[in-house]
């Protein structure tokens, strides 16, 4: 077996980042990843969650679900049940679920649109250069699609040719004789 090409994941000791710009960039990235993990936790475990942090400059940031009041009330009185807060929390959860569904749908549409644009760009390139020059840039899926299109086109042309032949041969033949003449 060959030796490792990289050092892999290694533990990096935690220490203060000295450069202010790098420290702020790291804070922003870590804050966003923390929010993403919190959102996953809320979605998958159906929990109430609140995260409050402030930057070195004193700017406050927060992530709360379902509402700030519901999270604070739950923190202060964990055994108390407030039906109004529970209804508000349930409504907020339903909205989050709906928004996540819409976001996933938009992501799927965006992915499909990008794939279609990529395919159209490839087709335009092929038209400009001629299909015979562009065949070497097609991948297996594109070649399979092109082959299917050619087979379909050939089938349609054969059907149309048979229809034309049948129409031409029937018009050349003399009309059938009637027994009444």
pTM (global) more than 0.75: no
The residues facing 61 across adjacent strands are: 53
**Where along the chain do its domains lie?**
20-126, 138-170
Name the 3-class secondary structure at 15. Answer: coil
The residues facing 53 across adjacent strands are: 61
- Model pLDDT for residues 29-79, shown as the tens digit of each residue: 999 999 999 988 888 887 888 999 998 888 999 998 877 887 887 788 877
pLDDT of residue 57: 87
Contact by Cβ (8 Å): 57, 36: no
pLDDT of residue 65: 83
pLDDT of residue 108: 94
Is the four-CA dihedral 103, 104, 107, 108 of positive or negative sign? negative
Segments in the chain below pLDDT 70 = 1-3, 81-82, 85, 128-136, 168-181
Q: Which long-range contacts (CB under 8 A, 24 or more apart) does 82-91 make?
A: 89/48, 90/66, 91/66
Three-class SS of 38-76: HHHHHHHHCCCEEEEEECCCCCEEEEEECCHHHHHHHHH
**Which CATH architecture describes the domain 20-126?**
3-Layer(aba) Sandwich (3.40)
């Amino acid at each position: 077996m060959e030796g490792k090409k990289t050092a892999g994941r290694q533990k990096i000791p935690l220490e203060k980042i000295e450069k202010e710009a790098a420290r702020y960039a790291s804070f922003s990235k870590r804050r966003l990843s923390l929010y993403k993990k919190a959102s996953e936790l809320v979605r998958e475990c159906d929990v109430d969650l609140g995260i409050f942090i402030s930057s070195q400059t004193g700017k406050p940031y927060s992530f709360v679900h379902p509402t700030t009041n519901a999270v604070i009330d739950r923190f202060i009185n964990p055994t108390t049940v407030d039906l109004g807060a529970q209804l508000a929390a349930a409504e907020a959860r339903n909205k989050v679920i709906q928004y996540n569904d819409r976001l996933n749908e938009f992501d799927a549409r965006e992915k499909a649109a990008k794939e279609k644009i990529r395919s159209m760009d490839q087709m335009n390139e092929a038209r400009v250069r001629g299909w015979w020059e562009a065949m070497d840039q097609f991948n297996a899926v594109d070649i399979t699609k092109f082959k299917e299109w050619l087979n379909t086109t050939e089938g349609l042309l054969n059907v149309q040719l048979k229809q034309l032949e049948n129409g031409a041969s029937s018009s050349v033949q003399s009309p059938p004789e009637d027994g009444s003449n």
